[in-house]
Structure 1
Amino acid sequence: MYKIAVMGDYDSIYGFATLGLDTFPVDNLDYGVTLLKRLAEDNYAVIYMTEALASDLNKEIDRYREVMKPAIILIPGISGNTGAGIAGVKKSVEQAVGSDILFNEE
């Protein structure tokens, strides 16, 4: 059975444990790189990651963009929304559909 993980600073992710998700607080870049690799190899199909952490791990995340699993989904952290999560979803939809579905013609 596949699992779901949440990575990021403790204050941003601790609430996800109440939903039954596996939470992994990350407080330094080296641990984040190692943890992402471990989770990807350990049957995690979805990894939610705070936008702040993802900005530090862009190079590592790029390795997983073209594979089926894990799906890495960016979420806002306690410090707020940077827009990176929305931009990532928009880009994925554009690739799948072949068009910008949020384009507003005025």
Structure 2
Amino acid sequence: MAHKIGVIGAKDSVMPFKLFGFEVVYAVESNQVRKTIESMAKHNFGVIFITEEASELSIETIDRYKSDVTPAIILIPSHNGTKGIGLKEIQDNVERAVGQNIL
């Protein structure tokens, strides 16, 4: 069974992902973001892209999935630009895997 790809965030930031056939959910409130992540995880999503702004609304939920292989939750910048949260997550993961920050 193939995994699906989902995108969560404000409409202006995530609408373009529909062009690639990703399932897009507009969520800008904490409860919406949390419920969407839980639903996507339960329904065979392999990757969930979430804007940095939306990720700040559901940190605890995202943290629960960090050690799982799927879904991989990837933080992306919004249309307003980056906050550096996604890059920090990548650096932390590389450091955990390699033993030092090589980025």
TM range (shorter): over 0.9
Quote the residue 1:80 is aligned against. 81
In structure 1, C-alpha distance between the alignment counterparts of 2:88 and 2:71, rounded to whole Å: 19
1:58 aligned partner: 59
Q: Structure 2 CA distance, aligned partners of 1:11 and 1:89?
A: 24
Q: Is the 8 A contact 2:8 2:14 kept in 1?
A: yes
Match in the other structure for 2:28: 27
**Structure 2 unaligned residues grouped into runs of 5+:** none
Identical counterparts, % of pairs: 34
Query: Are 2:69 and 1:68 equivalent residues in the alignment?
Result: yes
Which residue identity lines up with residue 34 of structure 2 in the other structure? V
Give the Cα separation in 1 of the matches to 2:64 and 2:97. Answer: 19
Q: Please report the TM-score for the alignment, with normalisation by the length of structure 2.
A: 0.95
Which of the pair has more CA radius of gyration? 1
Distance 1:27 1:9 in 2: 6
TM norm structure 1: 0.93
Query: How many residues get paired?
Result: 102
Superposed CA RMSD: 0.8
Of stretches 42-51 and 90-99 in structure 1, the one that deviates more from structure 2 is 90-99
The answer on 1:94 being equivalent to 2:95 is yes
- Aligned partner of 2:70: which letter? K
The offset of 1:27, in angstroms, is 2.8
Q: 1:29: Cα distance to partner?
A: 1.4
The CA distance in 2 between the partners of 1:27 and 1:54, in whole Å, is: 10
